[in-house]
């Protein structure tokens, strides 16, 4: 097994929390996604932060295009970690 991770970049905490709840149902994930606040360079204000939803995919079965389309539902995108 490999240690494949996917990162969904979302514009705010609410979007990240909603996506994290929905991604397990949509893709049948066994592990709960991790939420991470990603402050933009030099910014301390939460308004200037993106939120990451980190998915573990040990069997490398998730499709990158489908993840990107999923993240787009919350104005986000899939990014290579």
* pTM, to two decimals: 0.85
Tens-digit pLDDT profile for residues 21-70: 999 889 988 889 999 998 765 555 555 689 999 999 988 899 999 999 99
Cβ atoms within 10 A of the Cβ of 22, count?
Answer: 15
CA distance 26 to 15: 16
Task: State both tokens at 11.
Answer: 């514009």
SS3 32: coil
């Amino acid at each position: 097994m490999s240690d494949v991770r996917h990162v969904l970049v979302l514009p705010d905490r609410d979007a990240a929390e909603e996506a994290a709840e929905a991604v397990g149902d949509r893709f049948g994930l066994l592990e709960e996604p991790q939420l991470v606040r990603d402050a933009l360079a030099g910014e301390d204000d939460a308004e200037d932060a993106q939120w990451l939803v980190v998915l573990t995919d040990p069997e490398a079965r998730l499709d990158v295009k489908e993840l990107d389309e999923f993240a787009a539902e919350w104005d986000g995108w899939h990014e290579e970690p």
